[in-house]
Amino acid sequence: MIEGLQSFQNVLKIPELKRRIAFTGVMLFAYRLGAHVPTPGIDGNALAQFFDQVQGTLLGMVDLFSGGNLRRLSIFALGIMPYISASIILQLLTVVIPALERLAKEGEAGRKKITQYTRYGTIVLSAIQALGIAYGLESMRSPTGVSIVPTPGWAFRLLTLVTLTAGTALIMWMGEQISEKGIGNGISLIIFAGIVVRLPSAVTASYTLISTGELKLFVFGAIVAVMVGITAAVVLMQEGQRKIPVQYAKRVVGRRVYGGQSTHIPLRINTAGVIPVIFASSLILFPATLTRFAPYAWMQAVSDALSPGQFTYTVLYMALIVFFAYFYTAIVFNPIDLADNMKKYGGFIPGVRPGKKTAEHIDRTLTRITLPGALFLALISVLPDYMIRWFNVPFYFGGTSLLIVVGVALDTVRQMESHLLMRNYEGFLKRPSKSRGAFARG
């Protein structure tokens, strides 16, 4: 505890780090301020009543990522989802289109070009989604029969299109500014802020239930203990690695000797991060969303079978998460390229021949360690439904939100620590001793 407080005091001793943290705070405050600026032409009360009905659908998940902005239909209603979608599409196209693959290998210049394409894609997706939302809102009514859009027409559609697209572009700019001038990944921190802002309402709801006697104090204590344990397990899985030892042969160039050192390849247990959960959620919640716009009997039956808490939903959801974990890992991690680079610089895995055998060894190891990571993602993702059903937990805990919050928090602390260590200050995370490091390499 004392060491942790000392580390936070060290943060205040570095002017550059203080400026970065302050800039990040100002940007996140501006984001939350914009979340309360409504889009013109909407009946806010009718929209809120409608969203109370769509929890557990794709709209509910988009509302989670937008920090509740979609429920209020603020200028930031689309959130950062169009940017995430554009980034994922570009990553998938990089594997398919050779020109993009070559661009990705050109270093900083190629990365800037792909970032530019991602921005264009974000604007296009935002415009399409905004127009779709405008059309959809015109046909929606609250449970009491009140129209969400009092005066529909092209004036409302164009105004919504411009407002929501501009809002997403502003969020994208804020995220890039945080990444450049602040601390942490800007896009991730914006999602983080949208999720964490719901914490006070969860605390208030818990206090109300405890004070009225609906939730026993010792039961709440047990729930908190379980939450702490689950969070610790998520941290462990997010940080978990399988280190493959690599030896570099000695090379003599002129009078200098290069290589001859030992290192390792860190293969993460959860290489795909939270992407499999996002993909699986979007796919399995799609039928439930469609029934809101096309209420056919057979679609309603499918939607009921795929409702959260149903056995069919749980099995299919977990299977999709495992599938997308392997699918996305195969896209972002190429063992053949890694093996070729190692061979080029004289590196080899002890006991494994360079080239094709090395690629097969890395691929086999990655396939094995991805399974526990994928199963853990699946278990964490279905956890909230059962905690709410079995233990009457008065707030949503687990799933996508927990994975994002933990991942972003760890990444931000890691970046702050790098600033501290560069200036010879003690970091937040404990370092292994030399003996432990040598043992791990052995």
* Residue 268 belongs to domain with CATH number: 1.10.3370.10
Looking at the fold, whether 282 and 260 belong to one and the same domain comes out as yes
Looking at residue 147, the DSSP 8-state letter turns out to be B
Q: How far apart are CA 148 and CA 155, in angstroms?
A: 15
Nearest alpha carbon to residue 440 among 294, 234, 309, 264: 264
pLDDT in the model for residue 438: 38
On the question of pLDDT at 366 being above 70, the answer is yes
Which residues span the domain enclosing 209? Answer: 200-395
Looking at the fold, whether 172 and 310 belong to one and the same domain comes out as no
Looking at the fold, whether 247 and 332 belong to one and the same domain comes out as yes
165: pLDDT confidence band, cut at 50, 70 and 90? very high
> Is 165 in contact with 121 (CB distance < 8 Å)?
no
pLDDT in the model for residue 247: 82
pLDDT in the model for residue 435: 36
Give the mean pLDDT of the chain: 77
> Which residue carries 């399409």 as its tokens?
128
Residue 417 lies in a domain: no
Domain boundary among 144, 164, 198: 198
> Is 383 in contact with 370 (CB distance < 8 Å)?
no
Residue 432 lies in a domain: no
Nearest alpha carbon to residue 95 among 273, 334, 319: 334
Residue 404 lies in a domain: no
373-385: pLDDT as tens digits: 889 888 888 877 6
Residue 30 lies in a domain: yes
On the question of pLDDT at 190 being above 80, the answer is yes
Q: Render 251-292 in DSSP notation, one character per residue.
A: EEETTEEE---EEEEEEETTTTTTHHHHHHHHHHHHHHHHHH
> Is 247 in contact with 350 (CB distance < 8 Å)?
yes
DSSP helix/strand/coil, 379: helix
The number of domains in the chain is 2
pLDDT in the model for residue 289: 59
239-298: pLDDT as tens digits: 888 888 888 776 666 666 665 677 888 888 888 877 788 778 767 766 665 665 556 677
Looking at the fold, whether 258 and 115 belong to one and the same domain comes out as no
> Is 79 in contact with 67 (CB distance < 8 Å)?
yes
442: pLDDT confidence band, cut at 50, 70 and 90? very low
Looking at the fold, whether 148 and 133 belong to one and the same domain comes out as yes
Looking at the fold, whether 173 and 302 belong to one and the same domain comes out as no
Residue 298 lies in a domain: yes
Nearest alpha carbon to residue 17 among 425, 404, 406, 408: 425
307-353: pLDDT as tens digits: 666 778 888 888 988 998 898 888 778 888 888 888 887 788 888 88
Residue 129 lies in a domain: yes
pLDDT in the model for residue 166: 92
> Is 75 in contact with 106 (CB distance < 8 Å)?
no
The residue-averaged pLDDT of 197-216 equals 77
47: pLDDT confidence band, cut at 50, 70 and 90? confident
Which amino acid type is present at position 370?
T
276: its two tokens: 């499999």
Q: 264 - beta bridge partners?
A: 245
The residue-averaged pLDDT of 66-87 equals 76
Domain boundary among 198, 233, 251: 198
pLDDT in the model for residue 415: 81
Longest dimension (CA), the chain: 85
Looking at the fold, whether 144 and 282 belong to one and the same domain comes out as no
Domain boundary among 198, 230, 261: 198
123: pLDDT confidence band, cut at 50, 70 and 90? very high
Mark 109-145 as b/e (b = at least 16 C-beta within 10 Å).
Answer: eeeeebeebbbebbbebbbebbbebbeebbebebeee
Residue 190 lies in a domain: yes
On the question of pLDDT at 179 being above 50, the answer is yes
% residues pLDDT > 90 (the chain): 5
pLDDT in the model for residue 439: 33
pLDDT in the model for residue 441: 38
pLDDT in the model for residue 436: 38
Looking at the fold, whether 89 and 113 belong to one and the same domain comes out as yes
Residue 245: how many CB atoms within 10 A of its CB?
15
410: its two tokens: 């760890």
